[in-house]
Amino acid sequence: MMKTNVPSSSSAMVYAVSDACTDTQLVSIWLAGKSKTSQNTYASHIKQFLEYVGKPLKELKLEDMQLWVSSLENSQRYKTATLKLKINTVKSLLTFGQKVGYLQFNIGSAVKPPNPKNELSSRMLSETEVTTLIEKANQNQRDRIILKLMYVCGMRVSEVVGLNWRDLVPNNNGGLAIVLGKGGKTRVVLIPEKLWLDIQQLPKTDDAVFISRKKNRISRKTVHYMIKQYAKQAGINGNVSPHWLRHSHATHSIERGCNLHLLQQSLGHSNLSITSRYLHARPNEGSSQFIQDI
């Protein structure tokens, strides 16, 4: 098996495109164009792929990638959405490699990733569960506000932990948060009055809104652990994660009549088709419920 040297986000070196003469350099250039929150994940997928095929990118054949995809599917270790991410990550690198002239052929163009099943219905909470979950954090002001930002505002965990005081702007009786989302894109998130007032009660720092006991910026790992503990206390089953609150925000918003385009804008989805998944998140509900029985 070939020894693979894939740079992590912390060690990624930016080369001029014309200087890419090794796989490592190509990956470095490619990673440099990705958001910092995604670089480690992408680097891990590329490393896994290169270790499996055991040869340089320039020597790859279509069969190599097809065998790798089959090995992922046969392992039964990954959900469909994870498989799609791994395959699309490699396809993106190969497309980039051909575009800059490093690769003569793009074998990835002939490989189609599986379509993920709509698993949202099993990864969201009812309004009652959300209320119970947040109530369990009533004794911790910071934690309660973090949970509310992810549910009430639909923010990603990375966006919440990355919030700085300078990103918060008063707006009428409430406020606005300027967040850095996926792909390094910024968007403006509306914060309702009650939640805005709660945020203003937090201890002020020069930078991060949410800090740890050691006065450092709180980490995503801490928030993941935090929500699992509160979910356990609330008697909620399942591998609850921060993203469940974002899923719940989207579904509950649609149920209460939110326009799909407005939801797309609020969540920062690059494509309306991503937002549209929430229209099908309730498998036991349909438009027939609104038609008089005859």
Q: Among 45, 91, 148, 156, which one carries the catalytic annotation?
A: 156
Residue 89: what pLDDT? Answer: 95
Residue 5: what pLDDT? Answer: 59
Residue 278 designated active-site: yes
Residue 247 designated active-site: no
Residue 277 designated active-site: no
Residue 63 belongs to what H/E stretch? helix 62-75
d(CA 52, CA 44): 12
Question: Where along the chain do the CATH 1.10.443.10 domains lie?
Answer: 121-284
Residue 38: what pLDDT? Answer: 85
Q: Which CATH superfamily is domain 17-110 in?
A: Tyrosine recombinase, N-terminal domain (1.10.150.130)
d(CA 163, CA 177): 8
Residue 294: what pLDDT? Answer: 43
Fold of 121-284: hpI Integrase; Chain A (1.10.443)
Question: Where along the chain do the CATH 1.10.150.130 domains lie?
Answer: 17-110
- The helix/strand count (H/E) of the chain reads as 12, 3
Q: Among 123, 187, 220, 269, which one carries the catalytic annotation?
A: 269
Residue 6: what pLDDT? Answer: 57
Q: Among 217, 243, 277, 282, which one carries the catalytic annotation?
A: 243
Residue 256: what pLDDT? Answer: 83
- For the chain, 294 residues long, the average pLDDT of each consecutive 10-residue run is 50 47 90 86 94 93 91 82 91 94 92 69 82 95 96 91 94 88 82 93 92 92 94 91 89 83 82 68 47 44
CA-based nearest residue to 151, from 244, 265, 239, 260: 244
Residue 113: what pLDDT? Answer: 82
Q: Which residue has the tokens 């912390």?
A: 10
Residue 156 designated active-site: yes
Q: How many CB atoms lie within 10 A of CB 44?
A: 14
Percent helix / strand / coil, the chain, rounded to 5: 55, 5, 35
Give the ranges where 100-192 is alpha helix by DSSP (H): 127-135, 141-152, 157-161
Residue 249 designated active-site: no
Q: Among 136, 144, 246, 252, which one carries the catalytic annotation?
A: 246
Residue 269 designated active-site: yes
Q: Among 84, 142, 182, 220, which one carries the catalytic annotation?
A: 182
Residue 168: what pLDDT? Answer: 95
Q: Among 42, 151, 230, 278, which one carries the catalytic annotation?
A: 278
Residue 280: what pLDDT? Answer: 59
Q: Assess contact for 158 and 37: CB atoms under 8 A.
A: yes
Alpha-carbon Rg of the chain, whole angstroms? 22
